[in-house]
């Protein structure tokens, strides 16, 4: 592992050699210094603020392997591709690799500095056993896009809730002289509650917290009411035509919405495509390339598009449908104007009564109904769960067990002793309710308040995320 008193000039020279920039930003220096000392870190840095370099640079300065837990295959592949073009030893492990490719990645771990991996793959038995090999030196555990833990950890990505037990479990399998594994989380959006939850869930030890404001003075934010579905389409057409030759993104909330809107815009002679997580990897890569090279001036996409993709000259973001939460919104608008030139973000919303167009309200209600259904299923399972158990065995018996355990963990009624072994406690009876932050509509309510605000949109956002300009 790199010495804690390593001269900053050496760090700077390595940075210049790999990435070609003169120097790191002040916030990046804080995180890099912290990780080189082996200290836990939590970085809340605006989209486009260079979060990935903060864990990539220490990984190449240190010895051993750094694990990067990442939510999306596309995000992993894009970052690994960039690192490999710089001749750096990085790889990704995911479900789309062939058996032969997976074996090759695992075989080469001792020579790899950065391994990008999803929570689910990390906690799969063959991969976990390989990482626990006594001879494999692991020096870092990085959680990229850490807000996903809070947003998805007790719904459709419950493996996130088990990540807090990973470091201690790995250390148990390493020799006594193995260096401490540093742990860091990176996200563009986190209010006080999210920061507290990340520290608690990940079992961070006195983390260095570095926070930059998401405020972008050159990014103009607007919300416009549309009175009918036809009016929404008409305004969209005008917005796009008025910005001919500019690069942009149109966000919708579902795969079906993306496909439908893309087909309609293609009928109106626009070169574009729908992008969502349901597409084959090769098609997603093709659409990304078409957009990055300006063959497509814009793409119609779900929230699956944009994480980790850097196109500095993106001039606008149009929300055809409003996001459910402020975190989603600020992540998505952050993809515009990364070159610090004027950019704009427009969000279209149904008229307040919903009488003429209640599609926005229907989307919110559908989401809440789905969450309520999940919560009810998990609640019904509680009496059947053993108080002490093994995740793999329980999940085989009850498909919804992972979500039930995740909800229990969030509510403080469960402890993960390892990523696989849990203990339920503090449940006086099986009727005790397990709550979910987004399920009680608090996050959705904040988004609705933002839509209705008559003040400066940036003032509202900075206040919501406890930030000063």
**pLDDT over 70 (residue 415):** yes
Rounded Cα distance between 46 and 68, Å, is: 19
Q: How far is C-alpha 425 from the chain's CA centre?
A: 30
**Confidence band (pLDDT; 50, 70, 90) for 380?**
confident
Give the HSE-up count for residue 279: Cα atoms under 13 Å, Cβ half-sphere.
22
**pLDDT over 80 (residue 442):** no
What ranges make up the beta strands (E) of 118-242? 138-143, 182-187, 208-211, 219-226
Q: How far is C-alpha 134 from the chain's CA centre?
A: 31
DSSP H/E element including 447:
helix 442-452
**pLDDT over 60 (residue 1):** no
Residue 412 pLDDT = 86
| Nearest to 447, CA basis, from 338, 357, 321 | 321
% of residues, the chain, pLDDT over 70: 93
Rounded Cα distance between 241 and 103, Å, is: 50
The two tokens of residue 254 are 């579902």
- 234-242 contact pairs (CB < 8 A, 24+): 235/348, 236/318, 236/320, 236/348, 237/268, 239/316, 239/318, 239/346, 240/265, 240/270, 240/298, 240/318
Residue 434 pLDDT = 57
By CB atoms closer than 10 A (0-12, 13-18, 19+), residue 321 is: buried
* Per-chain mean pLDDT for the chain: 88
The two tokens of residue 185 are 């989380």
Strand pairing class (219-226; 208-211): unpaired
**pLDDT over 90 (residue 465):** no
Produce one character per residue of 332-371: b if its CB has 16 or more CB atoms within 10 Å, e if not. bbbbbbbeeeebbbbbbbbeeeeeebeebeebbeeebeeb
CB contact at 8 A, 64 and 115: no
Rounded Cα distance between 365 and 48, Å, is: 32
CATH topology of domain 8-211: Rossmann fold (3.40.50)
List pLDDT tens digits, range 397-414.
Answer: 998 899 889 888 888 889
Which residues of the chain are in CATH 3.40.50.300 domains? 8-211, 215-469
Q: What is the DSSP string of 12-30?
A: HHHHHHHH--S---HHHHH
**Confidence band (pLDDT; 50, 70, 90) for 2?**
very low
Mean pLDDT of 276-303: 90
The two tokens of residue 105 are 């990645």
List pLDDT tens digits, range 223-260.
Answer: 999 999 999 999 999 999 999 999 999 999 989 999 99
Mean pLDDT of 107-116: 96
Mean pLDDT of 336-346: 94
Mean pLDDT of 444-456: 90
Rounded Cα distance between 304 and 282, Å, is: 15
Rounded Cα distance between 21 and 2, Å, is: 22
The two tokens of residue 8 are 């900053």
Residue 108 pLDDT = 95
The two tokens of residue 24 are 């790191």
What ranges make up the beta strands (E) of 320-368? 343-350
**Confidence band (pLDDT; 50, 70, 90) for 307?**
low
**pLDDT over 70 (residue 33):** yes
**Confidence band (pLDDT; 50, 70, 90) for 357?**
confident
Give the max Cα distance, the chain.
68
Mean pLDDT of 380-389: 89
CATH number, domain 215-469: 3.40.50.300
Note the residue count of the chain. Answer: 469
Q: What is the DSSP string of 212-272?
A: -----TTEEEEEEEESSHHHHHHHHHHHHHTTTT-EEEEE-SSHHHHHHHHHHHHHTT---
The dihedrals phi and psi of 425, each to the nearest 5 degrees, come to -150, 170
Residue 308 pLDDT = 64
Secondary structure letter of residue 109 according to DSSP: G
Question: Hunting for tokens 């008193």 — which residue is that?
Answer: 5
**pLDDT over 60 (residue 5):** no
Q: How far is C-alpha 393 from the chain's CA centre?
A: 29
**pLDDT over 60 (residue 4):** no
Residue 431 pLDDT = 46
Residue 441 pLDDT = 65
Mean pLDDT of 351-364: 78
Produce one character per residue of 161-175: b if its CB has 16 or more CB atoms within 10 Å, e if not. bbbbbbbebbeeebe
Mean pLDDT of 341-362: 85
List pLDDT tens digits, range 141-165.
Answer: 999 989 888 877 677 788 999 999 9
């Amino acid at each position: 592992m790199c010495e804690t008193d390593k001269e900053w000039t050496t760090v700077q020279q390595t940075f210049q050699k790999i990435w070609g920039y003169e120097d790191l930003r002040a916030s990046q220096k804080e995180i890099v210094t912290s990780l080189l000392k082996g200290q836990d870190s939590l970085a809340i840095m605006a989209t486009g603020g260079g979060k990935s370099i903060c864990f990539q640079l220490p990984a190449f300065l240190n010895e051993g392997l750094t694990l990067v837990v990442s939510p999306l295959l596309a995000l992993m592949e894009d970052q690994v591709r960039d690192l490999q073009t710089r001749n750096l030893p990085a790889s990704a492990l995911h479900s789309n690799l062939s058996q032969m490719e997976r074996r090759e990645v695992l075989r080469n771990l001792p020579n790899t500095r950065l391994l990008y991996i999803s929570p689910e793959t990390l906690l799969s038995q063959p991969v976990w056993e390989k990482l626990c090999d006594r001879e494999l030196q692991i020096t870092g555990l990085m959680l990229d896009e850490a807000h996903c833990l809070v947003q998805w950890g007790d719904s459709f990505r419950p493996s996130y809730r088990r990540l807090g037990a990973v470091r201690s479990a790995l250390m148990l399998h390493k020799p006594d002289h193995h260096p401490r594994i540093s742990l860091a989380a990176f996200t563009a959006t986190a209010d006080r509650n999210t920061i507290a939850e990340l520290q608690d869930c990940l079992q961070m030890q006195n983390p260095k917290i570095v926070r930059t404001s998401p405020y972008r003075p050159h990014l103009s934010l607007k919300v416009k009411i549309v009175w009918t579905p036809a009016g929404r389409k008409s305004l969209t057409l005008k917005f796009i035509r008025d910005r001919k030759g500019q690069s942009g993104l149109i966000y919708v909330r579902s795969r079906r919405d993306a496909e439908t809107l893309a087909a309609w815009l293609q009928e109106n002679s626009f070169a574009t495509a729908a992008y969502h997580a349901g597409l084959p990897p090769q098609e997603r890569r093709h659409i990304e390339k078409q957009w990055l090279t300006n063959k497509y001036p814009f793409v119609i996409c779900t929230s699956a598009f944009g994480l980790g993709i850097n196109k500095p000259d993106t001039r606008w973001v149009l929300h055809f449908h409003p996001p459910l939460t402020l975190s989603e919104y600020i992540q998505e608008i952050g993809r515009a104007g990364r070159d610090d030139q004027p950019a704009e973000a427009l969000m279209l919303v149904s008229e307040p009564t919903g009488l003429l167009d209640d599609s926005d309200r229907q989307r919110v209600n559908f989401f809440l109904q789905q969450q309520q259904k999940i919560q009810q299923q998990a609640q019904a399972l509680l009496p059947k769960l053993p108080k002490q158990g093994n995740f793999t065995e329980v999940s085989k018996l009850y498909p919804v067990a992972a979500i039930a355990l995740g909800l229990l963990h969030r509510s403080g009624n469960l402890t993960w002793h390892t990523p696989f072994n849990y203990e339920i406690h503090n449940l006086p009876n099986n009727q005790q309710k397990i709550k979910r932050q987004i399920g009680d509509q608090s996050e959705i309510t904040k988004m609705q308040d933002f839509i209705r605000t008559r003040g400066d949109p940036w003032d509202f956002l900075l206040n919501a995320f406890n930030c000063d300009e």
